[in-house]
Every structure is written in C-alpha cells, then in structure tokens.
Structure 1
Amino acid sequence: MADRPTDSDTAVSVSAPAAEVHAAGTTPDDEPTAMDGGTVEMVGNKAVFKPTRSFYLAFSALLVLTIAVALDATTLSVALPTISSALGGSALEAFWSGTSFLLASTVLQPSVAALSNIFGRKYMIYLMVIFFAAGSLIGALAGNFTVLIAGRTIQGVGGGGIIALTEVVVTDLVPLQFRPAWFSTLSAMWSIGTVTGPLIGAGFAQNVTWRWIFYINLPLIGAGLAFVVLFLHQAKIPGGIVQKLGRFDWIGSILFTAASTSFLYGLTTGGVSHPWGSYQVLLPLIIGPIAIIVFGYYEFHWAEEPIINKRIFNNRDMLLTYVITVLHGHVLWSILYFLPLYYQGVLGYKPIISAVAILPETLTVAPAAGAVGVIAGMTGHYRWSLWVGWFLTTLGSGLLLLLKPDTSVAAWIWLNVPVGLGTGMLFPAMGLSVQAACEPVLNAQASAFYSFLRTFGQSIGVAISGVIFQNMFQKKLLRIPAFASVAAEYSRDATSIIYVIKAMPDSADKTSLVKAYNDSLHTIYISMLAFSAFCLVLTFFIKGYSLNQEHVTNQGLIDKAKDKEDAAAQSDGANAEKLALGS
C-alpha cells in the first residue's frame, strides 16, 4: 500500500470530484453520469463539500432505514416479560427471541456487503428490506414462540444487512474528508431509534398490544424502500446475473457464516440452554475458531474475489481499531441490556419507566456523535475523539458502581451521562479511524467489516456480561440461607428474577435478594470498566491518517436530473442546428 499522509501531516489533495467509474473521469455518451454525491469547491482557503439534490434525497432514504432498524433493535427487550406471559413462553424461549436477531444480523453482514460489491448496493438493500419486512410481519402474527423466533431471525438477516449497507453507501457517495458529518447524522438517527425504541416497546406492551412492536416496522420500512427506489440511483455494476453469481465467493461465505454462527451459538447458549461444560457448548466454541482459521487461509490464498480482503488488515491502526470496535459494542450493549434491569429489579420501576430511565445514556449519544462529526470535519483530525471517548466511557463505567438500591433520581441521572457521551463519541471516531487508515479503494469493504465487528461485539457483550452476572449472582444467593436451594435456578436468567422480586412482600429476605442482584450487576460494570480502560490505552498507539484522501468508488451517484437537463440541452441544440441549416 502506498504511504498516505498521517493525521499530523498537512492535507495535500482534495478528493476526486467524480467517481472513478471510467478512465479519466469520462463517461460514454450513452451512459448516465456517475459522480460523488456533490462537488468540492474552494471557499477561501477551505475545501467545502456541496451535496447535490440527488444526494440529499438518497441520504434521506438511508436515514429512514436506519431509524427503522434501530427501533426494532431496542423495542423488544422491555416487552419480553409481557410477550412471554401472552404466548406462554419460557425464559429460554424469551432469551432466543432476542438472541436469534443478534446472531442473524451479525453473521451475514460480510456476505451481504460482498454481494453488494457485485450486484450493486441498491438491489441488496431491496432484498434486505424484504427480509426485514417479512420477519416483522411473521413476528406480529406469531401465536407461539417458535414462530416469533423464526420471524426475529428473518428480521435479523434484513436488519444486519441494512446496517452494513447504509454505511457502505455513504463511503460511495461522500469523500472521506467530508464523511464525519454524514456518519454523525447516521449515528444520530440510530440514537433516536434507540431512545424511542424502549419507550415505544413498553408503551405498546402495557397499553395497546405487543404485536404493534412488529407492525410499526412495516410503514417505516415501506417508506424507506420507497425513498431508495425513487432516489438512490448508483452506477450499475456491469455483467449478467450468471456472471455475477460466478464471481461471488460462495465457499468463503459459507465458511465464515458457519464459523461465526458456531462460535456465537456456543457463547450465547452457555449457561442458558446448556451447561458450560457440556458438548453442546464446548463443541461450537472449538469448531468456530478452527473454521475461522480455515476461512482466513482460504480467503488470503485461494479466493479470487474474497468477501474479506486481506488488505484491510495491513496496518496497526486498522487492527487496533477493529479490537476497540468489538469492545465498544460489548460495553454499549451491556449497558442497554442490563441497566434497565437495575431500574426494574433494584429500584422497582415499571418497564416503561425503566425505558425512560436510560435516556441519560441514549439522549447523549447523538449530540456527542454530532460534535465529533463537526469538529473532525473542520479540523481533519479524529484521534482526539478516540482518547476523549474512551476516557469518558471508562469514567462512566466506573460511576455506574455508585448505583445502589437507595440511589436518588437526580443521582442516577448524572451518573449515567458520561458513559453515554463517551460511547456516542466513539461511533464516528472509530469509523473514521478505520477508513482513514485503509486504502481508498477498499473503504467500502473496511466500513462493512467495521459494521460487522461492532455488531459482533454487541452479540458477545450480552453473552459475556450474562455469564459474569450468572456466576456472581449464584455465589451471592448461596450465601443467603433463604435462597441457597434455588441459587442455580434464580441465577440462570437475569430477567425472570425481576418478577420474583416484585412478587415478594417487603421483608429482610427481599432486601437481601435485591442487594445480591445489584451487587451482581456491579460485576458487569467492573468488566466494562476494565475493557474500557484497556481500549483507552490502545488508542494511544493509533497513529492516525489524514482524512484528505482521494475518493475512489465504482458505485457513484447518478444524477438523473442533470442527465435530463443535458439531454434536453442536446436536443435543443440539435433542433437549433436543424433550423439553422433549414434557413
């Protein structure tokens, strides 16, 4: 890879004003013009990105899709107790209704991104929207947990694909130098979804019906699809369907999907569906990493068009950013999953109030991400946001240890703000770090892999934090005579124990149980503190690259309005020429 300017160097070139679709930036007369989502103009001594009308409309499509998936990712958790009661489901079935979505949304992301390189982003978005809508409808109509889990799995395939593709499309349309603001806008929409998701889920579950948690996805995803059809016009990839199917790395896709599914299945079911020492858990945990090694060897040595290009691992910045991305997903999802349990199980709040109680985290994510986008876009530097983001996340994780059964409302509000600011800043910061360190031609692949790792971190975060909670809660209960006989049963599921606590009359035993529950949640916060501090240290080894780099894409935006104007101008010119000849 050719050397590029580092974060401390002076920017040397402005992004190419047109997508590298044809040599020398030209296009044949019979093809529409493919270009970036705007033009780069010099205002004073500063380069300014001027988006086209087509870009604004196309970006609106991505925002609608993002908020639809974000809503779905967070509406279900607070309503699971109500759904379990309505469908007569067990704690294990309730667990799988959430886990199935996470697994499906994670393991197929690299394959979806690779298919979009061959068939085009727009057509893969169509397919992912169909999966998401079909899964939503199945979930809404489910009469038992088997059908619900099937619907959630199908939803996960679509949702994960949409998450990856929205970020990849931005890399197609916007030069790296100007991406911070647009990535921050996507982060803001995700934040709005995560803020309102628990509120909507709890509100539907308590006051309407839980089925509307799924029905509400349909008009949102429908609007997003309409926006994509009407406004997202990218340059087409040449070749027929058979030729494109032949180009796809089927062996690599199957290997990767099987390997990651195996590992995540073992990790998420250990201690829940099966004991950790059972072959049902150990076998997937062993097979998964082995299959990943086989996949890596195949991709790097034999695959002609690999789904994961080895060149997205070729410098220290990229490798370190991948590590902290996984741990960021771990920390963030541990907060979103387990903090509402503190409000319900320890403070005794109802589901809808617990959803309101996590607003100090969720409401701060969007402003923090937006601030990083604005400042990074103005200065061209992003390492500072990695340092500040992980410092605040580390501090905030430590402050969560002050949450107790008698913590006041004012206290828990302010204790939760730093971790929200920190995790919010890291969304755009880590995305910029990966893309700046990557070759421009591989930005889309690096962005897709970054998206996969973030979702992968979310999956393992809930699983690892769940194991930490189970082990500590069981130890705590064994020390309480009234609960020693049921310690193994009560510690298996952090959610179901809330109903046990709420059903108990005020007594010394209830106080002991609540304290044990809260102390066990503290062990999760300690793990978050350790992981965050580790990531903070790693960020000081990230060198940083300039954001001012060439923009290379073969799926630039087609400005149909401009094409029509050009065609009309040519037609008027031809008519004028005919009139002149006739006269």
Structure 2
Amino acid sequence: MNLHFVPTSFSDKLRRIDYIGSVIFIGSTTAFLIPLTWGGVVYSWHSWRTLVPLIIGSVGCGVFVVYEVYFAPAPIIPIDLFKNRTASVSFVSAGLSGLLVWCIVYYMPLYFQAVKEYSPVLTGVCIFPQTFTVAPAGAIAGVAITKTGKYRWAIWSGWALATLGLGLLCILEVGTSVPGWIFLNLVSGIGLGFLFPSVASAIQAATAAEHVPMALAMFSFFRSLGQAVGVAIGGVIFQNRMTANLLDYPNLAPNATAYGADAAGLVDIIKSMPDGQNKHDLQQAFVDSLRIVWAVCCALAGFGFLLSLLNQSYSIDQELDSSQGIVEKHQLRPHAEGTGV
C-alpha cells in the first residue's frame, strides 16, 4: 500500500479557496434567480427590472465557466465533472425533475382551489396522490438499486411514468370526479419518485471518487435551480394562455389582462364570484390554461426520457479516495461495467 499525507493546515485551506470564482458564481446565480421570483408578480416579464438581472446573471454564469476552465488555480467546481456523459446527462435530469416537481406542487393546488373551490386544508389533502407517492417510490427504487447494483432501469422507468402521468393531467376538466383526479395524479408522482435516488446513484457511480462530494452538491444545486425555474416557466405559460383564453369570452375579455396576471391571485377572485356562467367560464379558462402547462411539462419529461437513454452503466460500488488527510492508494477498479441496466 502507498500512504501519503496532504497538508491540511488552516492557512493552506484558505489559500486553496477560489475566492474570485465564488464571487462570480454567487453573484451570477443570485442575479438570475431573484427576477424569477418576481417576474409576472412584482414586475412583468417584459419589464427591464426583470430582464436586466436575468441577462446579467446568464452572462455571469458564462463568465464563471470560462474563468473556472482557463484561469482558476483551484476551481470550486471541477470541470472534469462535466466531461463524463452520464454525469452531464444526470445533472440535466436533476434540473428537469426539480422543475417538474415544483411546477406540479405549485399549480396543482391552484386547480383544486380555483376550479374545485376546495379550502386550503382540503387542498393539502387532495395533493396526497402526488406527495405521498414520491417518497415511497423513491425509497423502493433506492432499495432496489442497492440490492441489484443497477440504476438505469429506475431512471428509464421514472421518466417514462413521469411522461405518461403528466400527459394524463391534460385530461383534467372542471367536472373531473374525485376518483378521476386521484388516479390522474398517482402516475406522475410514482415516476418522479423513482428519479430522485436513481439520478443521484448515476452521478455517484459515473464520477471519479475524489469528485463525488462535489458531484452530489451539484446534483442538489441543479435540482434546486430546476425548482426555481419550474415555477417561473409555469407562470409565463399560464399567464399568456389565460389572457388569450379569456378573450374568447365577451363578458370576461375586458379583464383578461388583469385576471391572467397572477394565477394565485385569481383563486380569490373566482371564489368571491357568484355562481353563474361567468364563474364557470373563468374556471374553464383556468383549466384550459393549466392544460398547456401540463402539456409543456409532459414534453419536458419526454425529453428527459430520451436524454436518459444516453446513460452508461457503472458500478455503484465506489472506493473511497480523498485528497484530505491520509489516503491509502489501491489499484483502481475498472470504472465501467458491461451493459447492465
């Protein structure tokens, strides 16, 4: 065996910190994410207050990548993480799954409150088919991956079920029965639940041992980024479709822009309206607008499925290899393993 000691004094650690890269990364991601939270709510998506920070954040992220690749002596995000095909595909999958989960979690309750006119407490119960299937499905997939050592089957089946489930949500109508919407919500919850442990396993298996901690941190980052982008994308789609749909109803057309500005705010407007044709038309326009949101999510899930076909098979049995402290070096195992799933 070969033992070596890596200096770990406090001053050495301080010198290894990528201060410039950290500032660029934090500043760029903050500039990109903040306008996503107020776009269409505090300011319109066409406002310079929304567009300018989005552009600055996007350019800043590009500058960060260039700096990390060519100038950073000790990059905070090793570029080697993205040179492996499976790892890169899995990072995209993490972002897409986060996007889809939060798009569903945000907009499905609005369906129950605005269209079904359920109370907030009852709405929380109604999303159980989604929320109470994700965790058990993830646990089942995680145990199966551990037992079999294979993860690709869970990724493929997760994306397939998510695509099917999100497509089924397009069937939701104003008058959909309770058993109907329960069934329609179950499928996507199971599929998205399969993805969480399987994508993390793929990243861990495909990444060199010394980069695994950073790879898993990037998995969490891309998933969180997808969550923020998911609500924003859903908001843009809903607002545009809601405004266009309301123009088809003469009595509602004068307020089309105001009603379409905020999906959450529209819930109170609908609940305060007296029963009648105008209320039914507004609820129908609400459902029709959400249907486009689900359709776009279905397309993104389908893209995730096609992308997941690029995943390669690696052994999930990783040997610990750290650059911190005393490390025992063994002969590295062959990284890829056959064609298993």
The answer to whether the superposition gives a TM-score over 0.5 is yes
Amino acid at match of 1:238: T
* SS of equivalent to 1:276: coil
Q: CA deviation at 1:412?
A: 1.0
Tell me the distance in 2 between the aligned counterparts of 1:307 and 1:532: 31
1:319 counterpart (88, 93, 103): 88
CA contact (8 A) 2:21 2:76 kept: yes
Corresponding residue number in structure 2 for 1:499: 268
2:212 counterpart (405, 425, 443): 443
Q: CA deviation at 1:496?
A: 1.1
CA contact (8 A) 2:8 2:324 kept: no
Give 1:45-84 correspondences, 5 Å limit.
none
How many matched pairs?
Answer: 325
Alpha-carbon deviations, 1:376-425, whole Å to 9, x = none?
A: 11111100001100000001001111211111111111111110100000
Q: Does 1:420 align with 2:202?
A: no
Corresponding residue number in structure 1 for 2:321: 552
Q: CA deviation at 1:435?
A: 1.1
2:177 counterpart (381, 390, 408): 408
Q: CA deviation at 1:362?
A: 1.0
Q: CA deviation at 1:461?
A: 0.2
Tell me the distance in 1 between the aligned counterparts of 2:247 and 2:151: 49
Tell me the distance in 2 between the aligned counterparts of 1:478 and 1:516: 10
Tell me the distance in 2 between the aligned counterparts of 1:379 and 1:306: 35
Tell me the distance in 2 between the aligned counterparts of 1:280 and 1:474: 22
Q: CA deviation at 1:243?
A: 4.3
2:301 counterpart (523, 532, 541): 532
Q: Does 1:468 align with 2:237?
A: yes
1:394 counterpart (155, 163, 166): 163
Amino acid at match of 2:38: T
Tell me the distance in 2 between the aligned counterparts of 1:402 and 1:294: 44
2:105 counterpart (327, 330, 336): 336
Amino acid at match of 2:9: G
CA contact (8 A) 2:90 2:203 kept: yes
Amino acid at match of 2:178: V
Amino acid at match of 1:298: Y
Q: CA deviation at 1:554?
A: 5.8
Q: CA deviation at 1:23?
A: 5.6
Comparing 352-361 with 280-289, which one deviates more in the overlay? 280-289
Tell me the distance in 1 between the aligned counterparts of 2:73 and 2:166: 44
Q: CA deviation at 1:555?
A: 6.9
TM-score (norm 2): 0.91
Tell me the distance in 2 between the aligned counterparts of 1:338 and 1:349: 14
Alpha-carbon deviations, 1:266-291, whole Å to 9, x = none?
A: 34433332233332222222222211
Q: Does 1:282 align with 2:33?
A: no
Q: Does 1:377 align with 2:146?
A: yes
CA contact (8 A) 2:205 2:315 kept: yes
Q: Does 1:309 align with 2:78?
A: yes
Tell me the distance in 2 between the aligned counterparts of 1:374 and 1:330: 25
Alpha-carbon deviations, 1:140-186, whole Å to 9, x = none?
A: xxxxxxxxxxxxxxxxxxxxxxxxxxxxxxxxxxxxxxxxxxxxxxx
Tell me the distance in 1 between the aligned counterparts of 2:146 and 2:92: 24
Give 1:210-229 correspondences, 5 Å limit.
none
Q: Does 1:238 align with 2:16?
A: no
Q: Does 1:256 align with 2:33?
A: no
Tell me the distance in 1 between the aligned counterparts of 2:284 and 2:324: 56
Tell me the distance in 1 between the aligned counterparts of 2:36 and 2:177: 36
Corresponding residue number in structure 2 for 1:368: 137
Alpha-carbon deviations, 1:430-452, whole Å to 9, x = none?
A: 10111111101100000001100
CA contact (8 A) 2:200 2:219 kept: yes
Amino acid at match of 1:388: S
Tell me the distance in 2 between the aligned counterparts of 1:522 and 1:555: 51
Alpha-carbon deviations, 1:313-333, whole Å to 9, x = none?
A: 111111111112111111000
Tell me the distance in 2 between the aligned counterparts of 1:354 and 1:260: 33
Tell me the distance in 2 between the aligned counterparts of 1:290 and 1:340: 35
Comparing 474-483 with 340-349, which one deviates more in the overlay? 474-483
Give 1:36-185 correspondences, 5 Å limit.
none
Q: Does 1:480 align with 2:254?
A: no
Amino acid at match of 1:336: V
Amino acid at match of 1:495: A
CA contact (8 A) 2:162 2:188 kept: yes
Q: Can you give the 5+ residue segments of structure 1 that lack an aligned partner in the other structure?
A: 1-21, 28-236, 557-583
Q: CA deviation at 1:297?
A: 1.3
Corresponding residue number in structure 2 for 1:489: 258
Q: CA deviation at 1:265?
A: 2.7
Amino acid at match of 2:39: G
Corresponding residue number in structure 1 for 2:332: none
Q: CA deviation at 1:491?
A: 1.1
Would the alpha carbon gap of residues 555 and 413 (structure 1) be closer, same or farther in structure 2, given more than 3 Å must change?
A: farther
CA contact (8 A) 2:36 2:228 kept: no
* SS of equivalent to 1:482: coil
* SS of equivalent to 2:263: coil
Amino acid at match of 2:186: V
Tell me the distance in 2 between the aligned counterparts of 1:259 and 1:23: 42
Tell me the distance in 2 between the aligned counterparts of 1:24 and 1:262: 45
Tell me the distance in 2 between the aligned counterparts of 1:549 and 1:466: 41
* SS of equivalent to 1:277: coil
TM-score (norm 1): 0.54
CA contact (8 A) 2:137 2:193 kept: yes
Tell me the distance in 1 between the aligned counterparts of 2:324 and 2:14: 18
Alpha-carbon deviations, 1:526-572, whole Å to 9, x = none?
A: 0110000111111111112111231224679xxxxxxxxxxxxxxxx
Tell me the distance in 2 between the aligned counterparts of 1:247 and 1:554: 13
